[in-house]
Amino acid sequence: MTSDAGHGQAPTPDDLRTTAKGWQGIQLAVLGFVGLCGVLKDSGPAGVPWDVQLAAGVLALSALVVACCAVFLVGLAAWPLYRTVARPAASQRMSRALRTGIALTFTAVALLALSAATSWWPVKADKAGNTGNTGSAARSPVHVSTEAGTVCGPLSESNYGFLTLKANDRTVTMALSEVISLQPVSSCG
């Protein structure tokens, strides 16, 4: 009386090799995704603390190392360097390498997700609504000359084709076509 392979019997080395070869395609996709995310990663939003950016970099590099280890382990099961005989010890080694490699693949994806999560780090906005280092530049005053006269003050948000300044507690908006010169100054005094 014979029994089916799935009922109580350990998988054969050939079964494990076939499974490992299937997982290698998934792993190579994960490895490529980790590498692509590393290449496309920018410095993040301005104002994110350096230790958070450092943690993101360490997590991304860890994901790459873990993914490489996972590919190696599953590769050992898929393409063994030795001739496997249908022995329980060989099947156990291959099975352990395959399970560990699959677990490391999921670990690499989790590390990459944690690394990417730092791009949603909350950044405090300054009073002008700007974030990070751009706030001081946006509040620096400018001296604007038009045919109607001159105005001095910090720039404000404006519509397309217009320039808006905050000058002497009032908002001055003018068309860009009216501007003769615009000079950054240290103060309007």
At 99 the pLDDT is 92
Q: How many domains does the chain have?
A: 2
25 and 101 assigned to the same domain: yes
Looking at residue 136, its pLDDT comes to 46
Residue 152 and residue 116 share a domain: no
Residues 58-86 have pLDDT tens digits of 988 898 899 889 989 988 888 877 665 55
User: Are residues 91 and 177 located together in one domain of the fold?
Assistant: no
pLDDT recorded at residue 88 = 66
Torsion angles phi and psi, residue 170, rounded to 5:
-135, 160
Same domain, 94 and 166: no
**Dihedral of the alpha carbons of 74, 77, 78, 81, in degrees to the nearest 10:** 120
Q: Is 76 part of any domain?
A: yes
Quote the pLDDT of residue 188: 83
Residue 66 confidence (pLDDT): 93
Q: Does 99 lie in the same domain as 146?
A: no
Shared domain for 31 and 106, answered yes or no, is yes
Torsion of CA 134, 136, 137, 141, to 10 degrees: 150
Same domain as 113, residue 153 = no
Instruction: Give the whole-angstrom CA distance, residue 22 versus residue 110.
Output: 21
Is 176 inside any structural domain?
Answer: yes
* Same domain flag for 111 and 147: no
Q: Tell me how far apart the alpha carbons of residues 146 and 19 are, in angstroms, rounded to a whole number.
A: 75
Residue ending a domain, choose from 91, 120, 149: 120
> 105 and 75: one domain?
yes
Nearest C-alpha neighbor of 166 from the set 133, 142, 131, 130:
142
Per-residue pLDDT of 139-160, as tens digits, reads 788 889 988 888 898 988 888 8
- Domain hosting residue 82, numbered range: 13-120
Establish if 97 belongs to a structural domain: yes
For residue 38, being part of any structural domain is answered with yes
State whether 103 and 47 are in the same domain.
yes
Q: Is residue 129 part of a domain?
A: no
pLDDT score for 131: 47
Strand order in the sheet with 162-167: 170-175, 162-167, 149-156, 141-146, 179-184
The ranges of the chain with pLDDT < 70 are 1-8, 38-47, 82-88, 123-138
Confidence (pTM): 0.55
Euclidean distance between CA atoms 37 and 119, whole angstroms: 12
In a domain, 1, yes or no: no
